[in-house]
Amino acid sequence: MTRPTVLMPARMHDVVVDGCAERFELVRLWEATDPDALLAERGADVRGLATGGHHPVDAALLDKLPNLQIVANFGVGYDSVDVDAATERGVVVTNTPGVLDDEVADTALALLLMTVRELGQAERYLRAGRWAAEGHYPLTDLTMTGRKLGILGLGRIGEAIAKRAETFRMTVGYHNRSEKDVPYRYYPSLLEMARDVDTLLVVVPGSAATRHLVDAEVLEALGPDGVLVNIGRGTVVDEAALIGALKTRTIRAAGLDVYEDEPNVPRELIDLDNAVLLPHVGSASKPTRRAMGRLVVDNLTSWFTDGRALTPVNG
């Protein structure tokens, strides 16, 4: 039996490259000297596509792959894939949910702790020799215990964050489009939640519907002791409004793992002392990335052997 042809536009984790090369005929577009010519020559053979989000999977690319059946995305967020265009063409799209929840939740709590307790700034103080020269790092204004946390996007990762936040003795509420059967207060309105909490943690997917949900009004509602943490997608927060709110101390501080135009982070944000900035490392440990890679390969394998995707996001 001929092996299904799988296209990989950009290089992915070794687990995916090796797993695909073992089971399928792998077309490595990133190695081609003329990618357009390779697509024109091999496009009709391609039945599967593996992507890590660094290369947009849009209608223009899908049109070059008339026999494509499945797009397997590395990552639970699949905003670089035009799912509507895929669905119109009868193409199933899969992601990697579940295997990264704990890692991302751990990172979110670490980012929150760093932001509230100024841990990054304190470490830089020591490394600059200022402890010995100037004495103790100043006491932080804020503390974790008793903070009121509002989670925007109480899904798989949001729930893992909520459980951790409870052990930090924070009160937890959330805003989704629909209420869930969970022991946390539901806010039908994001603005209403922002008015009621002092800590807003963003973990919704990036999409047209979530773009700039966190705007100047929501930030102002958080108040002067307000802390924003974004581990979801950069597009959910109006970055210019956030920079303004941090500069004017409309909110106290922000901890960010994601940005509107990655990997470009505005100089203004980098220069702010009340922002903790991580380079999109939410799920970035070797064990978790291996588990994500295995799920990409398993989705493709299951589709081509049983006609069933393990974790589809459409259909």
The DSSP-derived string for 231-285 is -S-GGGB-HHHHHHHHHTTSSSEEEES--TBTTB--HHHHT-TTEEE--S-TT-S
**Which stretch in 34-42, 227-235, 259-267, 301-309 sits in contact with ligand NDP by CB under 6 A?**
227-235
Q: Is the peptide bond before 263 cis (omega within 30 degrees of 0)?
A: yes
Pick between residue 19 and residue 234 the one whose CB is nearest to ligand NDP: 234
Among 156, 185, 211, 212, binds ligand NDP (CB under 6 A): 156
148, 199 contact by CB (below 8 A): yes
Query: Is residue 158 involved in binding ligand NDP (CB under 6 A)?
Result: yes
CA gap 186, 199 in Å, rounded: 15
Orientation angle between helical segments 156-167 and 101-116, nearest 10 degrees: 50
Query: Is residue 111 involved in binding ligand NDP (CB under 6 A)?
Result: no
Residues 6+ away with beta carbon under 8 Å from 160:
101, 102, 104, 105
Query: Is residue 115 involved in binding ligand NDP (CB under 6 A)?
Result: no
Among 282, 288, 293, 309, binds ligand NDP (CB under 6 A): 282
52, 78 contact by CB (below 8 A): no
Least Å from the CB of residue 13 to ligand NDP: 14
Query: Is residue 109 involved in binding ligand NDP (CB under 6 A)?
Result: no
Query: Is residue 286 involved in binding ligand NDP (CB under 6 A)?
Result: no
119, 113 contact by CB (below 8 A): yes
Question: Catalytic site residues?
Answer: 233, 262, 280
DSSP letter for 45, please: G
Query: Is residue 210 involved in binding ligand NDP (CB under 6 A)?
Result: yes
Report 230-249 residues binding ligand NDP (CB under 6 A). Answer: 231-233
Query: Is residue 77 involved in binding ligand NDP (CB under 6 A)?
Result: yes
**Which stretch in 25-33, 117-125, 163-171, 175-183 sits in contact with ligand NDP by CB under 6 A?**
175-183
Among 4, 48, 206, 293, binds ligand NDP (CB under 6 A): 206
Residue 263 C-beta-side C-alpha neighbours within 13 Å: 6
Least Å from the CB of residue 246 to ligand NDP: 20
Query: Is residue 153 involved in binding ligand NDP (CB under 6 A)?
Result: yes
Both tokens of 30, joined, read 């990133």
Binding site for ligand NDP (CB under 6 A): 76-77, 97, 100, 104, 153-158, 175-178, 203-206, 209-210, 231-233, 257-258, 280, 282-283
